[in-house]
Amino acid sequence: MHARDFFSQAQLRLQAAGCRYRIKQVARSPYVQVYETLPPRRQQSARGYRADSEQDCWDLAALLLQADQRLLRGQAGLDWDCLAGGGVQGPAAVQTWGELRALVGGWIAPGGPKARDRNPFVCFRDGGYFGRAFAAEELATSHQLEQYCLHTPASLLAHREDPRQQLIRREYNSKGFYGVVQMVNYLAQRGVAIATPDLRQRLEQLKRGAGRLRAPAPRHIPRTDDVQDWLDRLMLLDPLRGWVMAMIATYGLRGHEVWHIDRLPGEVEADAGVIEVGSFHSHGDGSATKTGHRFALPLPLEWVSRYRLDDREHSRRMLTELRQRHAIRTAERPDGTVQFFNNGDLSIVLAHWLRNRGREDREIPVKLFGYHQPRPLPGKPKPKARRDRCRLYDLRHAWALRAKATTTWSTAVKAASMGHSEAVHASRYLAEEQAEHKLANLLQRRARDEGRTLTTQAVEPVIREVTRLPEGVTPELIELARKLRVAGLG
Contact 241, 326 (CB under 8 A): no
Tell which of 90, 121, 137 closes a domain. Answer: 90
Q: Render pLDDT for 132-157 as a digit per residue (tens, 0 to 9).
A: 999 988 989 999 999 999 999 999 99
Which residue type occupies 192? V
385 domain residue, yes or no: no
How many CB atoms neighbour CB 268 within 10 A? Answer: 15
| Residue 383, in any domain of the structure | no
Residue 189 lies in a domain: yes
Neighbours of 155 (CB within 10 A): 15
Please check the confidence at residue 217 and state whether its pLDDT lies above 80.
Answer: no
Domain boundary among 370, 385, 418: 370
Q: Which domain holds residue 440?
A: 393-487
Residue 123 is assigned to a structural domain of this protein = yes
Q: Are residue 251 and residue 326 in the same domain, yes or no?
A: yes
377 within a domain of the structure (yes/no):
no
What's the predicted TM-score (pTM) here? Answer: 0.61
CA distances from 465 to 91, 384, 456, 469 (A): 62, 16, 14, 10
* 425 and 357 within one domain: no
Residues 277 and 364 in one domain: yes
Task: Judge if 297 and 196 occupy the same domain.
Answer: no
79 and 57 in a common domain: yes
Segment 241-285, tens digit of pLDDT: 999 999 999 999 999 999 999 999 999 888 889 999 987 655 445
For residues 310 and 194, membership in a common domain is answered with no
What is the DSSP-derived secondary structure letter of residue 429?
Answer: I
Statement to judge: residues 53 and 101 lie in one domain: no
Residue 381: inside a domain, yes or no? no
Give tens-digit pLDDT for 66-103. 888 888 877 778 878 777 654 444 444 568 898 899 88
Q: In angstroms, rounded to a whole number, what is the distance separating the alpha carbons of residues 176 and 393?
A: 19
Closest CA to 247 of 314, 326, 292: 314
Whether residues 73 and 99 share a domain: the answer is no
Verify that 16 and 55 share a domain, yes or no: yes
Closest CA to 288 of 343, 345, 335, 347: 343
- Distance of alpha carbon 57 from alpha carbon 62, whole angstroms: 9
User: CB–CB of 253/396 below 8 Å?
Assistant: yes
Residues 167 and 179 in one domain: yes
- Residue 240 falls inside a structural domain: yes
Amino acid at 201: Q
Give every CB contact of residue 253 below 8 A, 6+ residues apart in sequence: 247, 277, 296, 396
Residues 162 and 272 in one domain: no
Q: Are residues 314 and 355 in the same domain?
A: yes
pLDDT at 448 over 70: no
pLDDT-derived band at 377 (thresholds 50, 70, 90) equals: confident
Q: What is the pLDDT of residue 91?
A: 47
Give CA angle at 71 (127, 75), nearest 5°.
90
- In the listed set 214, 239, 268, which residue is the last one of a domain according to the structure? 214
In a domain, 269, yes or no: yes
Quickly state the pLDDT bin for 436 (edges 50, 70, 90): low
Tens digits of residue pLDDT in 170-212: 998 888 899 999 999 999 888 888 998 889 999 999 988 888 7
How many domains does the chain fold into? 4
